[in-house]
């Protein structure tokens, strides 16, 4: 490992930050360590290797992310069609999954802002009941059918994934960056498939139903994790956007979501793989549980999200968990002035960087691709470069 005065590779720097080892300067990462990306950069460089080179040319840390595993298509059939009842203002998109135990059906209003041509199994756009006429899973009897859909892909279905992973591993090794992958998690999948209110009411009124539901999804997520590990990733990024206390009480989080997450972290660590857990909002009442879970990185922390207190996060998590994020994406990077961007970078660094265990980034993806967002993207990099050396640490500093 280089000393803090030597130039590190991006991989060395990020790993050292997580391990509280000496670093040459404060890391900045827009993609690959958390569940974030920059939309205009992704449009300019859709190839992940070219995108990584773009970031490295800016002297910014990055990674190649393999994404989620492909969904298995074995064991069930799919039918799709469109209806337009007279009493509906929008056409209805219908997707039916036919399994040996019966059928499950999704019915979604095709509103003007619905982005999908076909109904995907999982999408944020299905969560609002104003759009979902029928959720895929609405009662416990649906779970036997769901088990046929949530099976990990077989070796033949994974052939292309492993080929991609092998190529990406070589690129990452050659360029000194991390190879990462994503996990959908548990709570997000439940809410995608069943909606917020139905899931939370069932968690209180029908805990046996939700526990069985959780078991199905967590077993599938664990199988995905094991395949990512087989592919040789350095780090996995696990979603928890819908697992925070904006939705689940701390008691319900402990009852249903804690154990599956704990098992995944333990399996990752046994394989020497780092674990990022994404919770942007609603995390504050769960910080003690995050420490208990043994997270490596708490990802996508945002000073403007959901009663977040970055200083308290640093106090309660900072000795054990690396914090990733710290600069608001929506109001600051996408819409703010250059002065606001610089102030956001300064505040994040001064609050989260002392003592190590911090990787600077945005709280969520920079989705706007207009001139303001582009200008502020580069302004954030420039502001970071001006202060990054001040937060290079040596052990014990």
- Give 55-104 pLDDT, tens digit per residue: 999 999 999 999 999 889 998 999 999 999 999 999 999 999 999 999 99
pLDDT of residue 4: 45
Whether pLDDT at 267 is above 90: yes
Whether pLDDT at 394 is above 70: no
pLDDT of residue 323: 98
pLDDT of residue 397: 39
State what percent of residues in the chain have pLDDT above 90: 93
Q: Taking the mean position of all CA atoms in its chain, how far away is CA 6?
A: 32
Q: What residues form DSSP beta bridges with 106?
A: 95
pLDDT of residue 393: 62
Rounded distance between C-alpha atoms, residue 225 and residue 182, angstroms: 9
pTM of the predicted model as reported, rounded to 2 decimal places: 0.95
Rounded distance between C-alpha atoms, residue 338 and residue 360, angstroms: 17
At 355, list the tokens: 């003592």
Whether pLDDT at 395 is above 70: no
Burial, 54: exposed, middle or buried (Cβ in 10 Å; 0-12, 13-18, 19+)? middle
Give the pLDDT band of residue 155 (cuts 50, 70, 90). Answer: confident
pLDDT of residue 5: 55
Please report the domains of the chain, with CATH numbers, ordered by start residue: 10-70+151-391 (3.20.20.210), 77-139 (no CATH)
pLDDT of residue 335: 98
Instruction: Round to the nearest angstrom and report the end-to-end CA distance of the chain.
Output: 17
Rounded to an integer, the average pLDDT of 375-380 is 99
């Amino acid at each position: 490992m280089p000393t803090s005065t030597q130039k590190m590779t991006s991989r060395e720097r990020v790993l050292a930050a997580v391990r509280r080892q000496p670093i040459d300067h404060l890391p900045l990462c827009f993609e690959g360590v958390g569940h974030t990306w920059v939309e205009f950069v992704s449009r300019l460089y859709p190839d992940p290797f070219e995108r990584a080179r773009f970031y490295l040319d800016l002297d910014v840390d990055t990674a190649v992310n393999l994404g989620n595993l492909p969904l298995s298509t074995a064991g069930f059939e799919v039918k799709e069609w469109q209806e337009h009842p007279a009493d509906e203002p929008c056409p209805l998109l219908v997707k039916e999954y036919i399994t040996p135990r019966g059928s499950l059906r999704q019915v979604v209003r095709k509103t003007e802002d619905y982005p999908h041509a076909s109904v995907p199994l999982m999408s944020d756009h299905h969560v609002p009941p104003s759009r979902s006429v029928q959720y895929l899973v609405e009662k416990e009897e649906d779970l036997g059918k769901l088990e046929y859909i949530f099976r990990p892909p077989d070796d033949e279905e994974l052939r292309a994934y492993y080929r991609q992973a092998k190529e990406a591993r070589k690129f990452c090794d050659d360029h000194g960056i991390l190879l990462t992958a994503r996990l959908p998690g548990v709570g997000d999948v439940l809410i995608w498939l069943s909606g917020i209110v139905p899931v939370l009411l069932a968690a209180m009124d029908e805990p046996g139903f939700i526990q069985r539901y959780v078991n199905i999804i967590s077993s599938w997520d664990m199988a995905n994790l094991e395949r990512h590990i087989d592919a040789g990733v350095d780090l996995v990024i696990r979603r928890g956007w819908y697992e925070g206390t904006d939705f689940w009480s701390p008691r319900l989080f402990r009852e249903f979501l804690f154990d599956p997450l704990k098992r995944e972290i333990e399996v990752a660590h046994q394989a020497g793989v780092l674990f990022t857990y994404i919770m942007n909002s609603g995390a504050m009442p769960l910080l003690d549980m995050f420490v208990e879970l043994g997270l490596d990185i708490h990802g996508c922390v945002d000073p403007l999200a959901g009663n977040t207190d970055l200083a308290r996060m640093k106090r309660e998590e900072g000795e054990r968990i690396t914090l990733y994020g710290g600069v608001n994406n929506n109001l600051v990077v996408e819409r703010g002035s250059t002065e606001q961007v610089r102030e956001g970078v300064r505040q994040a660094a001064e609050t989260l960087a002392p003592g190590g265990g911090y990787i600077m980034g945005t709280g969520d993806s920079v989705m706007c691709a207009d001139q303001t967002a582009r200008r502020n993207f580069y302004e954030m990099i420039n502001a970071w470069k001006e202060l990054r050396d001040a937060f290079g640490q040596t052990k014990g500093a």
